[in-house]
Amino acid sequence: MKILLKGGRVVDPAASRDTVCDVLIDGAVVEQVGSGLRTDGAAVVEVPPGCVVCPGFIDMHVHLREPGQEHKETIATGTTAAVAGGFTSVACMPNTQPVNDQAGTTELILARAEAAGQARVYPIGAVSRESKGKQLADFAELRAAGCVAVSDDGQPVADALLMRRALEYASSFDMLLIDHCEDPALRGGVAHEGYQASALGLRGLPGVAEELIVERDVTLAGLVGAPVHIAHISVRGALRAVRSGKERNIPVTCEVTPHHFILTDEMLKNYDTNAKMNPPLREAADRDAMLQGLADGSVDAIATDHAPHHYDEKAVEFDRAPFGITGLETAVALSLDRLVQHDVVSLSRLVELCSTNPARILGVAGGSLEVGSPADLTVLAPDARTIVDVKTMRSKAKNTPFDGWELHGGVAATIVSGRVLYVNDAVTGAEVFASIGESIPGESAK
């Protein structure tokens, strides 16, 4: 099916494009981008005023929980939440049960994703067998099965020699290594080590635990000349290490989550377990450093670290609750509200952070609307009013600290492989997508 998106503002940093023009989709690929394109029998969609057409957003850090923890999330519910949040693709971490450290698990994930038919899924394999940090997994097998990167996320690669060997091994297959940076000797806390943790009687997790491992990883990446990606960076010292690596032309990249560039550890005052995550919410100076990194280019990507948990798991004492919050359905609206509306970054820079750079870093298709690119598009509504409401979320999990927040900005529609999978009926004019859309529950195409 051909679809002509007509007269919208098209923002595509990869093509240095930020202008009003048309985008013609032919099946699963972009056929033309330009002004006054002929319809040629295509279904014509007049892009609603104020909406912005972008290459599909890619979340390079999510937890889909399947296989093994389907009570928290499934691949179907997670990818449905993704398209509702404006993401056309997600990269899923390997800390499933069993751990994704061999081809069979990777193939199962891809099969379930294809059956779901929602966002694209890029599996990330484990660095070590069962993510125990003792013996490297078979990267060749994981790559052949479809993994785009390796990580022991949730666990740092603690042994420096294993990390070096992993970097060397991964680079031989053009695979990215993503590390959860946290010195195991300094682990054990449940909140950022500082005033708030002390006042609340919570065990502290110091920022230096992250900084030390980031410094080590940057140094090792420089030694072997292999790329390393720092997951969910949260402290200013760690960002300083990344900047230093970039200045020395070391192939290091990093991501930051919305909760780390918006919230601080003051959110812990009521012992709300929906504010418990790892890395923990830091102090204001760290939050402000993340905003500066987004603005000056030191941070390469925005990722959600979508970590769904069952309600009962979070409804316990703070010390006992698991780390993590959901993020797929809130990240884009939060970023529009706190970054674009407050002039921290431009809209073009936001697209770079959420689409162009993740595609480049992971080495996957997308991140651009160039001719021949996948017909994956995110249509933004920067002036829409969005109210976060857990009751309408597609994710199985509702563990978010943003419930009830009113935000300036949202998603109008999400198109994956030429299929309109999500339409936000609450956005004025967005119903124009509905006639060519596919039905999913809630505010979507009918």
Q: Of 270, 283, 264, 260, which Cα lies nearest the Cα of 318?
A: 270
User: Using CA atoms, how far apart are residues 17 and 15, in angstroms rounded to an integer?
Assistant: 5
Q: Which of 217, 305, 337, 376 is catalytic?
A: 305
pTM: 0.96
> Average pLDDT, stretch 169-189?
96
- Per-residue pLDDT reduced to its tens digit, 63-118: 999 999 999 999 999 999 999 999 999 999 999 999 999 999 999 999 999 999 99
Residue tagged 């949202």 (tokens): 410
| Structural domains of the chain, with CATH | 2-53+372-436 (2.30.40.10), 56-362 (3.20.20.140)
Q: Which residues of 94-106 are buried (b: 16+ CB within 10 A; e: fewer)?
A: bbbeebbbbbebb
The answer, yes or no, to whether residue 180 has pLDDT greater than 80, is yes
Q: Is 161 helix (H, G, I), strand (E, B) or coil?
A: helix
Q: Which residue has the higher pLDDT, 176 or 439?
A: 176
Q: Rounded to the nearest 5°, which phi and psi values hold at 34?
A: 170, -175
pLDDT for the residue numbered 428: 67
User: Using CA atoms, how far apart are residues 363 and 310, in angstroms rounded to an integer?
Assistant: 33
- For the stretch 42-45, contacts whose Cβ atoms lie closer than 8 Å and that sit 24 or more positions apart, written own/partner, are 42/2, 42/3, 42/4, 43/1, 43/2, 43/3, 43/4, 43/435, 43/436, 44/4, 44/6, 45/3, 45/4, 45/5, 45/6, 45/432, 45/433, 45/436
- Per-residue pLDDT reduced to its tens digit, 291-347: 999 999 999 999 999 999 999 999 999 999 999 999 999 999 999 999 999 999 999
What sign for the dihedral angle of Cα 259, 265, 266, 271?
positive
Q: Of 230, 219, 238, 249, which Cα lies nearest the Cα of 300?
A: 230
- Helix 284-296 to helix 236-247 angle (10° resolution) is 30
The answer, yes or no, to whether residue 439 has pLDDT greater than 80, is no
- Helix 208-224 to helix 236-247 angle (10° resolution) is 10
Instruction: For the sheet with 176-179, list strands across it.
Output: 57-62, 87-92, 120-125, 149-151, 176-179, 228-230, 252-256, 301-302
Q: Using an 8 Å Cβ cutoff, are 406 and 426 in contact?
A: no
Q: Using an 8 Å Cβ cutoff, are 376 and 414 in contact?
A: no
> Average pLDDT, stretch 125-134?
98
Establish whether 305 is a catalytic residue.
yes
- β-pairing, 149-151 vs 204-205, is unpaired
